[in-house]
């Protein structure tokens, strides 16, 4: 029997209602068992249901990242991903999945771009909507995030983004609008950042006027973790649930005081509580209140789906004929697998990371595909230095008991004469803030005696969540006086660290001690959800390892092989939540670019397979034979890469982002990540609506390496006979003939762009209005019909506060990328039309 939400709400006291408006702990809501209100559990994240533990928890399926899924341009696959994610979420005892992530790719250096779909709001919205539908078909609440404009990680908790209403509406809110209208997700998560001076969790325009008003959405709004910034303002604006718990802004005292002072009405409390109860009902919490233990279920159907989606998402960007590497043709030959060939780059860092069921590296996938028919060669050391942080110091250390490892001592703050707890045998010089709640608001000392086995300079580095000092033989060699700018980033791979050197003598003993305090709190910074928790790491590397030449062996190997494949990309610490990209060039310090250059000089049949969630510089592009963009394709990574390289799968991925030649060409260049005045970082979205291809369309093509929508195939396609006519005041009949003119079956994406016949500097040249992926056998053709409405190419008029399509002639352009328009037709649209908000 369905619960009577009205009766439950009336039975709750004011104090009980308030208790429901914040989480119980990191992942669960608050139960009120006496009134029949159960707790429900949430789980990260956008490409897999991780469960409760950040690192090394219950194994889970790792699906392709959103940008890889978007590269399929196939919303039907997104719905199937949603179904599978729903099934995975249930295995973790959770009822709400914290995804999909769907903010736009504003700038190539955005640290979390890989989690989101595209630079284009239509493509992002259509893909995300289907994920939501798929999730909720399985009874799992979808949580679209981060609402809104979370396009950078630099100072993400406080950055103020100055955005025009037109740009906000057309670019940054549009994906959410599509998902809300087409999928009705049961939850929305607010962003950390400010928009035009107001934090997203208490933003009346976003939450009241647009989300609940114009869009008419009825669901639960939750904060990002630690993203609640007020008591009364957030309640009044429409934030239903503060996460995680225990509460920081919604204590009984704080909320009751707000009610007594007239800052918040009891009616508002009732509304917020009802939304929490409604979500519990939607996900079946009242019917099945038990939160089941987490388990790992490695479903063969999910394996197959991941491989299929990634296979359609990998994008072939260059091919001079060397691909595919047909097995029969290369029998008995040698292929060099270089760079990150033995690394399975399956996901980015942060909320998207998880303990996958398995992870197939390219080395493993290619061996599986080719067997013993090909001799694969690998150069030790990967041919390039790719670490972001020096590995934690370990080895040749003894603790205070004389045993291998480190000693950790816990002190009351400011009282370091007598530890309240001592632990010996720590393996390495790092301390996670999640390691022990007993360390909260306490000082940590970690110490060891180090006896080096070689003389000379050694490299060290250090960072802490709070103030941290490193001593060697009682001399300070490192001091951090301030808090980490983003403590959560410390969890997701560490904060940026500067390396320094120290000269050791072989055989001598050195006393090393790290002293780290909890984050210093003040009126504007209370430490967030890691408040009071210390954490630090001490990196270490011998000079011979740090400065080792890794390129020479790789080049020699490439020279003796028939084909050389160089695997490049970002490991999770380089592309992660909590930090924007360090550089447009591949890490570290150009080492991967130098490897590709050197290998390509030695072997004309050099193929590059790049695994990043963003565009990167390719200074070697003209020297290599082929480039395959693999994104982060999930746990089947190596198998999928082998499928495409071998020709078992014909590549059909199309770029969901524009790929600039230089970072200076990016539309947000100069306005990312902003300018700081005092303690406030402000970033101006001065490019307005001219994001991605909307920007590049206005300039010569030499600014773009690969255009939006681009991707090659092992076959070829043509688009001809485009037609478009207006069949009602709001809709159009559109079609085009697609032909496979090559010698094998394959797929392309029909992309329809619409723009004003009379160009205007106020409007984009053209805007993506519809698309469809088409699969055809060799020599076959098909008539593809597309659905288009006025809203798909309208602009937002700030003065009128309305969506507008002006009277006049419009070009309906059919292409396989923004730069490859093959058929176009003009349509006269009568009368200026004001569309419904």
Catalytic residues: 224
CA–CA dist 543, 674 (Å, integer): 36
CA 621 distance to own-chain centroid: 26
CA–CA dist 317, 584 (Å, integer): 18
Instruction: State both tokens at 276.
Output: 């929490």
Whose structure tokens read 């429409």?
Answer: 238
- Taken in order 597, 599, 605, 608, is the CA torsion positive or negative? negative
User: Residue 317: how many CB atoms within 10 A of its CB?
Assistant: 21
CA–CA dist 632, 62 (Å, integer): 10
**Local structure of 819: helix, strand or coil:** coil
User: Could you tell me which of 80, 109, 85 has the C-alpha nearest to residue 97?
Assistant: 85
User: Residue 547: how many CB atoms within 10 A of its CB?
Assistant: 11
User: Residue 265: how many CB atoms within 10 A of its CB?
Assistant: 13
CA–CA dist 241, 229 (Å, integer): 12
Cα Rg of the chain (Å, integer): 28
User: Residue 436: how many CB atoms within 10 A of its CB?
Assistant: 17
CA–CA dist 377, 389 (Å, integer): 28
CA 58 distance to own-chain centroid: 21
Residues linked to residue 155 through DSSP beta bridges, in sequence order: none
Instruction: State both tokens at 313.
Output: 């998402």
Write down the H helix ranges in 55-160: 66-70, 75-91, 121-137
User: Could you tell me which of 643, 788, 663 has the C-alpha nearest to residue 726?
Assistant: 788
CA–CA dist 306, 78 (Å, integer): 11
User: Could you tell me which of 721, 700, 714, 708 has the C-alpha nearest to residue 751?
Assistant: 708
CA–CA dist 263, 256 (Å, integer): 10
**Local structure of 548: helix, strand or coil:** coil
Instruction: State both tokens at 534.
Output: 């210390």
User: Could you tell me which of 197, 194, 217, 192 has the C-alpha nearest to residue 207?
Assistant: 217
- Taken in order 549, 555, 560, 562, is the CA torsion positive or negative? positive
CA–CA dist 454, 544 (Å, integer): 10
DSSP characters for 224-287?
-TT----SHHHHHHT--BB-SSS-SS--HHHHHHHHHTTSS-HHHHHHHHHHHHHHHHHTTTTT
**Local structure of 796: helix, strand or coil:** strand
Find the helix packing angle between 121-137 and 75-91, rounded to 10°.
Answer: 40
Tell the burial category of 742 from Cβ atoms under 10 Å away from its Cβ (0-12, 13-18, 19+).
middle
How many residues are present in the chain? 837
User: Could you tell me which of 317, 328, 249 has the C-alpha nearest to residue 608?
Assistant: 317
CA-to-CA separations, 109 to 145, 203, 671, in angstroms, rounded:
19, 27, 12
Helix or strand holding residue 480 (H, E): strand 475-480
CA atoms within 13 A on the CB side of 787: 1
Strand order in the sheet with 717-726: 717-726, 731-740, 781-789
CA–CA dist 408, 486 (Å, integer): 24
Find the helix packing angle between 252-260 and 266-282, rounded to 10°.
Answer: 140
Q: Are 112 and 153 in contact (CB under 8 A)?
A: yes
């Amino acid at each position: 029997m369905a619960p009577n939400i009205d009766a439950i709400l009336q039975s709750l006291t004011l104090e009980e209602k308030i208790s429901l408006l914040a989480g119980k702990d990191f992942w669960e809501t608050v139960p009120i068992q006496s009134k029949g209100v159960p707790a429900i559990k949430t789980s990260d994240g956008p490409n897999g249901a991780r469960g409760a533990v950040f690192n090394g928890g219950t194994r889970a399926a790792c699906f392709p990242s959103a940008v890889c899924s978007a590269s399929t341009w196939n919303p039907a696959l997104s719905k199937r991903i949603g179904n599978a994610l729903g099934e995975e979420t249930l295995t973790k005892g959770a009822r709400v999945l914290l995804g999909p992530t769907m903010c736009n790719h504003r700038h190539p250096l955005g640290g979390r771009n890989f989690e989101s779909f595209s630079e284009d709001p239509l493509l992002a919205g259509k893909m995300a909507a289907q994920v939501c539908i798929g999730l909720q078909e399985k009874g799992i609440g979808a949580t679209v995030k981060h609402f809104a404009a979370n396009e950078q990680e630099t100072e993400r908790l406080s950055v103020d983004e100055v955005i025009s209403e037109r740009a906000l509406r057309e670019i940054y809110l549009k994906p959410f609008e599509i998902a809300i209208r087409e999928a009705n997700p049961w939850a929305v998560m607010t962003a950390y950042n400010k928009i035009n001076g107001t934090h997203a969790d208490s933003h009346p325009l976003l939450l009241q006027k647009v989300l609940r008003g114009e869009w008419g959405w009825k669901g639960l709004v939750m904060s990002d973790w630690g993203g609640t910034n007020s008591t009364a303002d957030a309640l009044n604006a429409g934030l239903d649930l503060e996460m995680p718990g225990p509460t920081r802004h919604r204590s009984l005292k704080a909320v009751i005081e707000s009610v007594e002072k007239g800052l918040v009405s009891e009616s508002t409390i009732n509304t917020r509580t009802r939304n929490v109860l409604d979500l519990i009902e939607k996900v079946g919490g009242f019917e099945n209140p038990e939160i089941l233990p987490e388990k790992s279920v490695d479903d063969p159907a999910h394996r197959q789906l991941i491989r299929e989606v990634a296979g359609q998402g990998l994008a072939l960007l260059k091919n001079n004929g060397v691909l595919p590497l047909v097995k029969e043709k290369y029998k008995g030959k040698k292929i060099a697998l270089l760079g990150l060939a033995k690394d399975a780059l399956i996901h980015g860092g942060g909320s998207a990371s998880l303990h996958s069921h398995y992870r197939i590296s390219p080395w493993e996938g290619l061996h599986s595909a080719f067997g013993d028919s090909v001799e694969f060669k690998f150069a030790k050391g990967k041919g390039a230095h790719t670490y972001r942080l020096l590995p934690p110091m370990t080895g040749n250390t003894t603790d205070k008991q004389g045993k291998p490892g480190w000693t950790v001592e816990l002190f009351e703050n400011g009282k370091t004469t007598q530890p309240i707890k001592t632990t010996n045998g720590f393996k390495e010089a790092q301390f996670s803030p999640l390691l022990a709640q007993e360390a909260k608001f306490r000082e940590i000392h970690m110490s060891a005696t180090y006896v080096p086995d070689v003389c000379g300079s050694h490299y060290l580095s250090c960072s802490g969540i709070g103030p941290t000092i490193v001593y060697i033989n009682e001399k300070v060699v490192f001091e951090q006086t301030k808090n980490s700018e983003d403590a959560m980033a410390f969890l997701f791979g560490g904060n940026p660290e500067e390396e320094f050197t120290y000269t050791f003598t072989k055989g001598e003993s050195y006393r090393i001690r790290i002293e780290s305090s909890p984050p210093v709190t003040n009126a504007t910074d209370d430490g967030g959800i890691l408040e009071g928790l210390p954490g630090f790491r001490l990196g270490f590397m011998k000079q011979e390892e740090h400065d080792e030449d890794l390129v020479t062996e790789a080049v020699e190997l490439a020279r003796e092989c028939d084909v050389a494949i160089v695997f490049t990309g970002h490991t999770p610490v380089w592309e992660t939540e909590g930090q924007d990209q360090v550089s447009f060039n591949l890490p570290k310090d150009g080492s991967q670019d130098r490897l590709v250059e050197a290998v390509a000089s030695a072997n004309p049949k050099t193929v590059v397979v790049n695994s990043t969630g963003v565009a990167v510089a390719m200074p070697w592009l003209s020297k290599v034979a082929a480039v395959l963009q693999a994104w982060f394709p999930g746990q089947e990574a190596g198998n999928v890469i082998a499928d495409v390289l071998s020709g078992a799968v014909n590549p059909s991925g199309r770029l969901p982002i524009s790929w600039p030649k230089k970072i200076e060409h990016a539309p947000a260049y100069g306005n990312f990540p902003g300018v700081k005045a005092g303690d406030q970082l402000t970033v101006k979205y001065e490019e307005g609506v001219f994001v991605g291809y909307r920007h590049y369309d206005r300039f010569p093509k030499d600014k773009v390496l690969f255009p939006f929508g681009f991707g090659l195939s092992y076959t070829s396609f043509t688009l001809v006979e485009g037609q478009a006519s207006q069949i009602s005041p709001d809709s159009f009949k559109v079609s085009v003939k697609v032909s496979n003119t090559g010698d094998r079956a394959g797929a392309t994406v029909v992309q329809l762009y619409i723009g004003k016949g009379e160009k205007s500097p106020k409007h984009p040249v053209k805007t993506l209005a519809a698309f469809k992926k088409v699969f055809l056998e060799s020599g076959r053709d098909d008539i593809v019909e597309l659905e288009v409405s006025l809203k798909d190419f309208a602009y937002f008029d700030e003065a009128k506060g309305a969506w507008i399509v002006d009277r006049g002639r419009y070009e309906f352009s059919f292409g396989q990328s923004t730069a490859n328009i093959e058929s176009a037709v003009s349509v006269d649209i009568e009368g200026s039309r004001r569309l419904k908000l």
